[in-house]
Every structure is written in C-alpha cells, then in structure tokens.
Amino acid sequence: MEIIAPKVIEDTANSERIFCKFLSANDTGETGGHQSGIYIPKNSVPLIFDTPGVKGENKEEFNKIKWQDDFETDAHFKYYGQGTRNEYRITGFGRNFPFLKPAFTGSLVIILKQKDSSYKGYVLETEDEIEYFLDYFGITPNETNRLIDTELANPEEKEKLAIQEFIKSLTSDFPSSEQMSLEAQRIQNLVFDHNEYIQQKPDDKLLDWTEVEYRLFRAIEHDRYGSLIKNGFSDVEKFIELANQVLNRRKSRAGKSLEHHLSSLFKGNSITFTPQAITEGNKKPDFIFPSIEAYHDTSFSVVKLASLAAKTTCKDRWRQVLNEADRLRSQNKFLCTLQQGISSAQLEEMKSEKVVLVVPERYIKTYPEKYQQDIWTVKKFIEYVKEIEK
C-alpha cells in the first residue's frame, strides 16, 4: 500500500481550510441508516460554504474533489435546513466511490480547500499514517471532527518532512555545500515563516539557518551511510576509507556554510559585495564591500570600503585576516565567527591589530565582559555596511 501521509502534509501547505474526522458508522452506512455522504459539523461550515445555511431552507453547491491525489469525484455540498433537519453533508460521490463502505469505518478522512478554491481529499487507513498526520499538527484524536489551525503544525515534524522530501529528490550522492546551505535556508523559512528576520533579526536568522543545515547534513549522512555502518565492514581499510570521506566532507561543508549564509543575509538586506575577491597577489578575503572593482579603484575612498572574513572558529586562525587586503591595513578588519568565547589576551591582541569580531548576538555573552562592548552583532555590521554604501 502506498504511503500517502507525507503527500497529505505537503498539500496542507497550499490549503486555505483543513478538515479532518474519523469516518463514523453513520458516514459509511454501517449502521444501516439511509444517510448519505460525509457529515460536516457546524464548526466547519467554512470548508464548504462562505456563509451558514438558514433554517427552513436547503442550500447546495457543486464541486469536485480529487482523492488520494489520484482520481476525482463530484461533490455536492449540502445544507439540510427544512423540517427537523439542521445539518451539513458532502454527498454525490457516486456508486464506485470506495471509501464510504463499512470497511473504512474509523479511517481518517481529510478534506482540503486549496488556496485556489479547488478541493483535495485523502483517507488514511493505517494507525501509522493517522498518527503521522495527527503528530504533525500536534493534535489528539479527540481534537478531530473540526477545522485544523495550521499554526498548530509541529515545527519539528514539518522540518523532518521537508528534509525527507529533499533527500528523496537528490540525484547525487551529496549536494554541493552551496546547495546544502540554500536548502537549509528554504526549509527553515518554510517551517517558521520568518523571512522578515533576515532584516529585523539577522543574528537569529544566521544561527537558525546554521542549525537546520547541520540537521540536514546529518540526515543525509544517515541516509547514505546508515545501513552500511549498521552492517559493518569487511576490513579495517574500508572502515578508514569511509571515515576519512565523512570527516573531509564535514570539514568542507562547515568551512563554507557560514559564507553561504552570510551571502544570503547580505543579499536579503540589499548590500552590494564581492565574495572570494582577489585583492593583491593571491590574497582572497571572503567578502569585499561594495565590490572588488571599487577596491582596485585608487580614487575610491578607503573609508567606503570594508572587508569581512568568515571563520566558523577563529581562536587560532584570526591572524590570517590581517594581510588579506593591503588597502585596508589602517582600517578595521572585520571577522565574523561562530566561536563562543575567546581569551582576554587574544581579544586584546585583536584590538591592537584593529580586528573587530562580528558575532551572533546571543553568543556575545560568552566573551569576557570587559570586551563585550567592542564586539559587533551581525545586525550592527549590516547597518554599518549599508551606511557606507549610501
């Protein structure tokens, strides 16, 4: 049987209304009654009508529903308001509709009103698929038979699903470091929907993207190597070969990850820059602002230039940034790092060499208190570059 719960979750992202309920014996005809179709409670009227029905009058609209992302049926949205009846139902599926039969009593039916006003429907039969759907939205079986608040979606489950879908889509053993970073950004933005943080809270955004990329990378590692490691190795050499391959890839990804995320933050803040520009000789700072052309233009004011190095850790490597741009030797040299804490002696030496640390705001408290005021946040650096680029 095809696993469809992930497809259901994927479609909820494009849905204006999400309704779910367990099919009752009355819905499936198991009680022997003559009711037809799926009962819709009054709390879920917006799924099928823009306005509620009026007592004493029947109401009906015609639509189509695509089921299991496979086949389509007619659907009559009905309000029975005459006589003693006062209820809403979806009927008109046709005789060959497979799901309104006694065998499907207790299955979870999900009906989605898409943002383009079309409809999709799914029926989940197994406990695993039903739990997958309920866990995603963080609801219990008792909280069904109603419209679902999409804000309830469990972020961890959303992220896990997005990672699984990306891994399934891969056509190579491992994506490039840039593709990995961009996908982590896409997933994090999708799950938390805080694109405005790129400008409002870039420090948080940088760390959020970095954390998701780490989880994404580890998930791909597990998918690629999990069964191989579990089954063991025929000899030590093969084990060492794989271990070296994994470690080298980890080092390569970590070294580029920070650069990729900073690039996206700069683009999101409309900052002009040249990455990996060549200044003098083979010197190559990670970022030159506003451009390498401006840097090589001797008539361009040096106070309107800036360089930024990106190093995940910098405790022992910060001196590398001192000679990356000759024109900026007398200016501040900026170094963005995810390092948490550096000794006072090193910070004093950095200060004397005009190296300014740029650190995500929540990490600044890990540095000696005496030097915290000298450390720039990512947001402060972005505002500084925007100012000199005016």
Tokens 């005789």 label which residue? 95
**16 backbone dihedrals φ, ψ, rounded to 5°:** -85, -35
DSSP codes joined into one string, 129-153: HHHHHHHHHT--GGG-SEE--GGG-
The residue count of the chain comes to: 390
Active-site choice (88, 132, 136, 295): 295
CA distance 305 to 277: 13
Encoded tokens for 274: 């040249």
Q: CA nearest 303: which of 202, 390, 199?
A: 390
Buried b / exposed e over 105-127, threshold 16 CB at 10 Å, is: bebbbbbbbeeeeebbbbbbeee
135 neighbors 5 (Cβ within 8 angstroms): no
CA distance 69 to 118: 13
From start to end of 12-58, where are the E strands? Answer: 15-22, 38-40
Terminal-residue alpha carbon distance, the chain: 60
Give 286's contacts (C-beta < 8 A, 6+ positions apart): 259, 262, 275, 276, 308, 309, 310
Q: CA nearest 110: which of 154, 58, 73, 145?
A: 145
For 313, how many CA atoms within 13 A lie in the half-sphere containing its CB?
A: 7
- The answer to whether 363 is a known catalytic residue is no
67 neighbors 107 (Cβ within 8 angstroms): no
**Which residues does the annotation mark as catalytic?**
295
